[in-house]
């Protein structure tokens, strides 16, 4: 793992408890950590203890540093060393001794400033602290620091020089006149690099092996003031053998005296990432209560309630040619199902040894899915599944043979570079089609994705310091080139709109894209700022349009839109916050005949999607169906109601809100292809009339190809079957309140290929979204692809029929179309999509009220008002929509169009950021010719 950067190693550790990853990460920084502690404490034994404490802190923190691990460790060890010194009453004596020897001249030596240097460094901004710590305390070159941080060498040099200047300034504030510039840098460098003691390297290995957060939390209280070595030994004692022990736990027969013996066993026992030591190493008998206390986060069924129920798995992972797949990751997925977002919390990870062998014990009875992934990449999904297995209580299943890569034998290889052509190391590459393969680029930026099947594959490339990219490739392609664009940064300040004074405490995030609706979920755990001047700085922002979201207690939240340039810093962004307003409101939930509904749960969501039955409702209606919300989140637009006897409903968040609930409908769906059932596909039913009432019901088909969807809001329903990623089948139907229907979906076989290129103004259009709408005798399908850097696209899995093709060249706003493409079995259709927009419909919308905005759509052909309003919320799924635009504050709009023709122009007016409900509309049919743009003013009818 030596080729992985700090962030990748930290991810390996915190997500999967990979001991090798933590050992490598800690070893990189051990010298710096120990040297920092030694400079403060001036005692090697004390410094070693504090170093172990800080490495344990890195292992167990619930908020690991997202970047700049060295800077985080330096600040942690410095503060820990100070606390250690204070607890032994040494700091006061040292400071008095130091004050008596302060020189009056400018010629100070290292002994006079050594312990103040770390204090000054710990107080530096992170952007300066990280390169300074790496250079002076870890002896890294400017070039290596620049490569790891993803910045230029000149930037690193500038930040180090700036950091040295700030350190000298901070020393002068302490009464020390330190040497200037290079002299101070030389003084620090010559006395900072020290070798960590051998004992610390041993403890790093012990920490990596023994670190289990839930266990450590209980042992720490037992270890107390006994020192970190005793605590580490205690952790080892409770982890050995897959058995957990909590000091003082009821029913435990392990005495504190056994800690040293268990630590000795741990040192003697060989430990690998693939095997769990025998449970006979430590003998406590776990009760059900003890397990609940020690491992509260464990999933039921991963660890059995008692040791008598423990089952185990062991076997070998091989490649298609029979060679062992050394270092492969074997994921044993919890019986309750696979959730890629939760990942390891529902799966056990085993790392195969050099012979491809793996084993896992402590499993509960049940049916498990087994996934195999590449070493070190830590990217996986359900498409990595290679086998399934059923375990009985206490069963020891051995001899499992897992074959990785049997889906194909082709390789896609290439290089990832930046805009200047420089290779990028540490980029994660993943495929997003029938099978998932992953790889990480080496120092030359090269990668290889192996064991792929024939056909097209889309390769994603992700790196923290660059904008995500990707390319379409085919199995067997070599020399694939992916270009990633460097991210930028945003800096500025937050002020009170009324007084102009800085707001010192606030949350702020910068998200790519043009966000219209504010929502609390945009903020992350590390989005808080505390600065007396109200300043903020956010790094690694993708180039292009971005939205800064800011909130602070007592103020209205703000969405501030900016444009970020690649590799540049957008400075001096000023964001003013208004005082918060009271938004309390009340309402009532009724049936269609006006009867009150008591016990209905009330939800709030500015985006209009309901999360039902998750315990996050804000209130419940009383016997009269009445509810009151006193303190809703800012910018709340809608209020939703759910009751088990009805379909969900919604209304505007205002006083006297009335929400009408209808009896829910039910749909039994059978999905087949060629007469055979399709298992594991997602079926989704959406009522667009009530989309923002949270009605997006979905389920997966079983082994018989069947899925049941209930709690569907009645009305016009669209049923979508997600066949594969980027390919879905659609059918429209109508459901009455309380009605139950059956639907058989016959997916036609894929027999055609559609390929082509998207161009704009004669140049290729990379990263355009291409949608193919196919009408077949069995139904309608929608396929989606993105163009690669060369502007090309290819659809391999296309049924025969008649298709329309749409290219979205600027998000959801500019569209170009190719109509009526005949698709015949076995044929390849080549298409060039010219997305140049030489025509437009433009004008202004009249009759707008205060705080109202207009969404304007141009649709092909002549549509009635009902047809246009029905297509509006389904813009991506409806090829009839040709262009979409938003009016500015004065009501002006521009609809760019790529060809002449007859268009229906629909304008819907909305209040504020509420794009869910329209308060008015206007509709006109226009004829666009080659003669020029068409000007038309619209008037909102209410």
- Predicted confidence band at 211 (pLDDT cuts at 50, 70, 90)? very low
User: Above 50 in pLDDT, residue 468?
Assistant: yes
Going by pLDDT thresholds of 50, 70 and 90, the confidence category of residue 175 is low
What pLDDT score was predicted for residue 9?
80
Give the residue, 833 or 2, on which the prediction is more confident. Answer: 833
Instruction: Give Cα 666 distance to the centre of its chain.
Output: 34
Quick check: helix, strand or coil at residue 28?
Answer: helix
**Three-class secondary structure assignment of 467-493:** EEEEEEEECCCCCEEEEECECEEEEEE
CA angle 201, 206, 207 (to 5 degrees): 95
* Whether this model's pTM surpasses 0.75: no
List the strands of the sheet with 619-620, edge to edge: 619-620, 601-605, 638-642, 649-652
More confident residue, 637 or 567: 567
Are 637 and 653 in contact by the 8 Å Cβ rule? The answer is: yes
152-161 long-range contacts, Cβ below 8 Å, gap at least 24? 156/131, 159/127, 159/128, 159/131, 159/132, 160/128, 160/131, 160/132, 160/135, 160/185
What mean pLDDT do residues 272-290 have?
29
114 pLDDT exceeds 90? no
> Model confidence over 706-733: pLDDT tens digits?
999 988 888 888 899 998 878 889 888 8
pLDDT of 306-338, one tens digit each?
Answer: 455 678 899 999 999 999 999 898 988 875 554
| pLDDT band at 380; cut points 50, 70, 90 | confident
Indicate the average pLDDT of the chain: 75
User: What whole-number distance in Å separates Cα of residue 631 and Cα of residue 616?
Assistant: 14
Residue 293 pLDDT exceeds 50 = no
Per-residue pLDDT for 241 more than 60? Answer: no
Residue 846 CB neighbours (<10 A) = 12
pLDDT at residue 99, rounded to an integer = 47
CA-derived radius of gyration, the chain: 31
What's residue 669's pLDDT?
A: 95
Helix or strand or coil: residue 921?
A: strand
What would the pLDDT profile of 382-416 be if each residue is shown by its tens digit?
778 888 888 888 888 999 999 999 888 999 999 99
Angle between helices 181-192 and 110-122 (to 10 degrees): 90
- In angstroms, rounded to a whole number, what is the distance separating the alpha carbons of residues 42 and 372? 49
How far is residue 821's CA from residue 803's CA, in Å, rounded to a whole number?
Answer: 5
d(CA 722, CA 729): 7
Instruction: Kindly state the DSSP code that residue 137 receives in the 8-state scheme.
Output: I
User: Any idea how long the chain is?
Assistant: 942
pLDDT the model gives residue 527? 80
On whether the CB atoms of residues 879 and 924 are closer than 8 A, the answer is no
CA distance 811 to 767: 10
Q: In 10 A of CB 724, how many CB atoms?
A: 12
Q: What is the pLDDT of residue 189?
A: 52
Least confident of 78-87, 387-396, 502-511: 78-87
pLDDT band at 252 (very low <50, low <70, confident <90, very high): very low
pLDDT mean over 654-673: 90
The predicted model gives 547-574 an average pLDDT of: 89
440 or 890, greater pLDDT = 440
Lowest-pLDDT range, 43-47, 509-513, 805-809?
Answer: 43-47
Handedness of CA 666, 672, 677, 683 (dihedral sign): negative
* Mean per-residue pLDDT, 906-926: 79
Give the whole-angstrom CA distance, residue 916 versus residue 906: 16
**Which of 147-151, 405-409, 475-479, 480-484 is predicted with the least confidence, judged by mean pLDDT?**
147-151
How many whole angstroms separate alpha carbon 802 and alpha carbon 821? 6
For position 746, what pLDDT does the model report? 92
Burial bucket for residue 645 (CB in 10 Å: 0-12, 13-18, 19+): exposed
Helix (H, G, I), strand (E, B), or coil: what is residue 453? coil
pLDDT of residue 45: 73
Say what the pLDDT of residue 475 is.
86
Q: Which two tokens stand for residue 16?
A: 């999967």
Contact 795, 785 (CB under 8 A): yes
Do residues 756 and 792 lie in contact, with contact meaning Cβ atoms separated by under 8 Å?
yes
Number of other CB atoms surrounding residue 747 within 10 Å:
22
Number of helices (H) and strands (E) in the chain: give both, helices first.
16, 52
pLDDT bucket at 918, cuts 50 / 70 / 90: confident
Does residue 911 or residue 203 have the better pLDDT?
911
Quote the tokens at residue 349: 């990870």
The pair of three-digit structure tokens given for residue 784, joined into one six-digit string: 């989606």
User: Which pLDDT value is given to residue 297?
Assistant: 33
User: What would the mean pLDDT of 64-69 be, rounded to a whole number?
Assistant: 72
Would you state the structure tokens that stand for residue 612, as one six-digit string?
């039902």
Three-state DSSP state, 752: strand
For 634-776, where are the E strands, in sequence order? 638-642, 649-652, 657-661, 665-673, 676-677, 682-687, 696-700, 706-712, 715-724, 727-735, 740-746, 752-760, 763-764, 769-776
Q: Quote the pLDDT of residue 253.
A: 28
pLDDT value for 383: 78
Give, in degrees to the nearest 5, the angle at Cα 379 between 373 and 383. Answer: 60
Tell me how far apart the 2 most distant CA atoms of the chain are, in Å: 94
Phi, psi of 19 (to 5 degrees): -65, -35
pLDDT band of residue 635 (cuts 50, 70, 90) is low
Question: Which tokens hold the place of 757?
Answer: 């290129």
Average pLDDT over residues 858-877: 80
Write out pLDDT tens, residues 742-775. 999 999 888 899 999 998 888 888 778 899 999 9
User: In the block, which residue shows the tokens 């049923």?
Assistant: 719
Whose tokens are 């900016």? That residue is 562
User: 68-72, 366-370, 798-802: which has the highest mean pLDDT?
Assistant: 798-802
Residue 261 pLDDT > 70: no
Distance separating alpha carbons of residues 486 and 569, to the nearest angstrom: 12
Report which listed range, 173-182, 198-207, 384-393, 614-623, is most confident. 384-393
Instruction: Give CA separation, 17 vs 304, 622, 631, 667, in Å.
Output: 20, 48, 41, 43
User: What phi and psi values does residue 163 have, to the nearest 5 degrees?
Assistant: -65, -40
Which residues are within 8 A (CB) of 374 and not within 5 positions of it... i.e. 6 or more apart?
Answer: 328, 329, 437, 438, 439
| Per-residue pLDDT reduced to its tens digit, 527-536 | 889 899 999 9
pLDDT for the residue 30: 85
- Say if residue 684's pLDDT is above 80: yes
Return the minimum-mean-pLDDT range out of 115-119, 365-369, 582-586, 664-668.
115-119
- Angstrom distance (rounded) from CA 333 to CA 317: 16
What's the rounded Cα separation, in Å, for the pair 640 and 611? 10
Identify the pLDDT of residue 451: 92
156-165, 620-629, 696-705, range with the lowest pLDDT: 156-165
Q: Which two tokens stand for residue 535?
A: 């300043």
* pLDDT value at residue 779: 83
Range scoring the smallest mean pLDDT among 52-56, 234-238, 571-575, 929-933: 234-238
Closest CA to 861 of 843, 879, 888, 841: 879
Q: Please give the Cα distance from 521 to 91 (Å, whole number).
A: 45
| pLDDT score for 535 | 94
Q: What is the mean pLDDT of residues 845-851?
A: 78
Residues 928/841, Cβ–Cβ less than 8 Å: yes
pLDDT value, residue 281: 31
């Amino acid at each position: 793992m030596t080729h992985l950067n700090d962030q990748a190693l930290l991810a390996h550790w915190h997500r999967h408890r990979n001991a090798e990853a933590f050992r490598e990460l800690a070893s990189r920084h051990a010298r710096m950590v120990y040297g920092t502690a030694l400079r403060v404490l001036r005692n090697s034994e004390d410094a070693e203890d504090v170093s172990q404490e800080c490495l344990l802190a890195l292992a167990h923190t619930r908020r690991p540093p997202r970047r700049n691990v060295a800077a985080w460790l330096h600040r942690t060890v410095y503060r820990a060393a100070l606390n250690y010194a204070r607890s032994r009453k040494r700091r006061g004596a040292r400071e008095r001794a130091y004050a008596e020897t302060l020189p009056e001249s400018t010629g100070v030596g290292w002994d006079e400033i050594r312990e103040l240097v770390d204090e000054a460094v710990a107080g530096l901004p992170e952007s300066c602290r990280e390169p300074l710590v790496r250079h002076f305390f870890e002896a890294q070159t400017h070039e290596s620091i620049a490569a790891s941080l993803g910045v230029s060498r000149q930037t690193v040099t500038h930040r180090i020089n700036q950091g040295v200047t700030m350190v000298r300034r901070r020393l002068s504030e302490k009464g020390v006149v330190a040497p200037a510039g290079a002299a101070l840098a030389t003084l620090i460098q010559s006395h900072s690099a020290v070798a960590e003691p051998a004992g610390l390297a041993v403890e790093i290995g012990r920490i990596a092996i023994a670190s289990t957060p839930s266990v450590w939390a209980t042992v720490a209280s037992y270890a107390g003031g006994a020192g970190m070595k005793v605590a580490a030994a205690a952790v080892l004692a409770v982890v050995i053998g897959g058995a957990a022990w909590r000091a003082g736990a009821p029913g435990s027969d392990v005495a504190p005296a056994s800690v040293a013996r268990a630590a000795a066993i741990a040192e003697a026992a060989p430990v690998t990432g693939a095997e769990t030591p025998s449970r006979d190493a430590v003998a406590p008998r776990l009760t059900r209560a003890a397990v609940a206390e020690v491992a509260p986060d464990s999933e039921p069924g991963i660890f059995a309630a008692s040791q008598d129920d423990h089952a185990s798995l062991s076997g070998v992972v091989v490649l298609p040619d029979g060679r062992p797949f050394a270092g492969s990751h074997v994921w044993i997925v919890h019986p309750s199902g696979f959730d890629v977002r939760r990942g390891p919390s529902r799966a056990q990870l085993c790392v195969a040894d050099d012979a491809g062998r793996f084993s896992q014990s402590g499993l509960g009875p049940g049916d498990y899915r087994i996934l195999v992934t590449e070493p070190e990449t830590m990217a996986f999904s359900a498409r990595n599944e290679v086998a399934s297995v059923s375990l009985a209580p206490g069963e020891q299943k051995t001899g499992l043979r897992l074959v990785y890569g049997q889906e194909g034998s082709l390789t896609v290889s290439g290089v990832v570079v930046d805009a200047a052509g420089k290779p990028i190391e540490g980029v994660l590459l993943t495929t997003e089609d029938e099978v998932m393969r992953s790889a990480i680029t080496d120092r030359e930026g090269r990668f290889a994705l192996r064991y792929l099947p024939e056909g097209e594959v889309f390769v994603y490339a992700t790196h923290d310091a660059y904008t995500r990219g990707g390319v379409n490739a085919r199995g067997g392609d070599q020399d694939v080139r992916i270009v990633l664009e460097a991210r930028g940064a945003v800096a500025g300040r937050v002020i009170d709109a009324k007084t102009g004074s800085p707001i010192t405490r606030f949350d702020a995030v910068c998200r790519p894209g043009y966000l219209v609706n504010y929502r609390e979920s945009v903020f992350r755990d590390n989005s808080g700022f505390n600065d007396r001047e109200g300043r903020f700085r956010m790094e690694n922002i993708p180039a292009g349009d971005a939205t800064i979201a800011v909130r602070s207690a007592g103020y209205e939240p703000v969405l501030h839109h900016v444009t970020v340039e690649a590799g540049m810093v957008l400075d001096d962004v000023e964001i003013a916050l208004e005082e918060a307003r009271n938004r309390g409101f009340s309402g009532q939930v009724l049936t269609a005949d006006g009867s009150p509904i008591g016990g209905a749960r009330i939800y709030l969501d500015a985006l209009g999607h309901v999360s039902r039955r998750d315990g996050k409702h804000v209130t419940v209606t009383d016997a009269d169906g009445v509810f009151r919300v006193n303190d809703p989140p800012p910018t709340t637009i809608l209020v939703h109601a759910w009751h088990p006897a009805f379909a969900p409903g919604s209304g505007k968040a205002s006083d006297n809100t009335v929400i009408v609930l209808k009896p829910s409908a039910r749909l039994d769906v059978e999905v087949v292809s060629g007469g055979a059932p399709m298992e594991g596909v997602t079926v989704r039913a959406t009522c667009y009339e009530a989309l923002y009432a949270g009605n997006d019901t979905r389920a997966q088909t079983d082994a018989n190809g069947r899925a049941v969807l209930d709690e569907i809001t009645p009305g016009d329903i669209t049923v979508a079957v997600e066949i594969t990623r980027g390919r879905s089948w659609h059918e429209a139907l109508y459901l009455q309140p309380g009605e139950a229907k059956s639907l058989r979906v016959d997916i036609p076989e894929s027999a055609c290929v559609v390929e082509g290129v998207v161009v704009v103004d004669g140049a290729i259009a990379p990263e355009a979204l291409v949608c193919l709408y196919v009408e077949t005798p069995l139904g309608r399908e929608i396929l989606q692809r993105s163009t690669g850097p060369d502007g090309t696209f290819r659809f391999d899995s296309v049924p025969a029929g008649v298709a329309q093709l749409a290219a979205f060249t600027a998000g959801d706003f500019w569209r170009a179309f190719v109509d009526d493409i005949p698709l015949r079995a076995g044929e390849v259709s080549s298409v060039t999509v010219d997305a140049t927009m030489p025509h437009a419909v433009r004008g202004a919308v009249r009759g707008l009220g205060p705080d109202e905005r207009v969404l304007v759509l141009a649709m092909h052909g002549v549509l009635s008002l009902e047809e246009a309003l029905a297509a509006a919320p389904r813009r991506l799924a409806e090829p009839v929509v040709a262009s979409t635009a938003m009016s500015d504050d004065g009501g002006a709009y521009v609809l760019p169009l790529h060809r002449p023709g007859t268009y229906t122009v629909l304008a819907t007016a909305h209040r504020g950021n509420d794009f869910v409900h329209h308060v008015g509309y206007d509709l006109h049919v226009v004829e666009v010719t080659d003669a020029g743009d068409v000007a038309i003013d619209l008037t909102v009818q209410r």
